[in-house]
Amino acid sequence: MKLFLDQFYVLMRRFRIIVHALAYNIFNWFKRMALPVKMRKQQIDTIRLKLLKIAAKALHSARYITFKLCSSCPYKNEFYETLEKHPQVTAAAGMTSNREP
């Protein structure tokens, strides 16, 4: 039984390494393809803070999804730059970015 558990834990560790490598490669692809040039050298935590941890209100209409960010959002420009970098993706998804002056 102990041999079986040892093999199971070895297999579990190998699977975890594969999942971590896959996540690393997907994030590197995202950095190269989706981010503006000035954000590509930033670390994962910084990009996560600037793009994923943003409180936004998503307004749904018949054709579009509009993101409304608060006026005091410190990373508003980076968020909209990332959306505007790929107009074909935002147009295909029907997403617009309403930038307030």
For the segment 70-99, the average pLDDT, to the nearest whole number, is: 67
**Residue 43 reports pLDDT greater than 60:** yes
Residue 70 phi/psi, 5-degree rounding, is -70, 155
- Name the band, by pLDDT with cuts 50, 70 and 90, for residue 25: very high
Q: Which of 18, 47, 19, 45 is nearest to 31 (CA)?
A: 47
Parallel/antiparallel/unpaired status of strands 65-69 and 56-60:
antiparallel
Q: What does pTM read for this prediction?
A: 0.58
**Inter-CA distances, 40 with 33, 83, 86, Å:** 9, 15, 15
pLDDT in tens, 46-82: 888 888 787 778 788 887 777 788 878 888 888 878 8
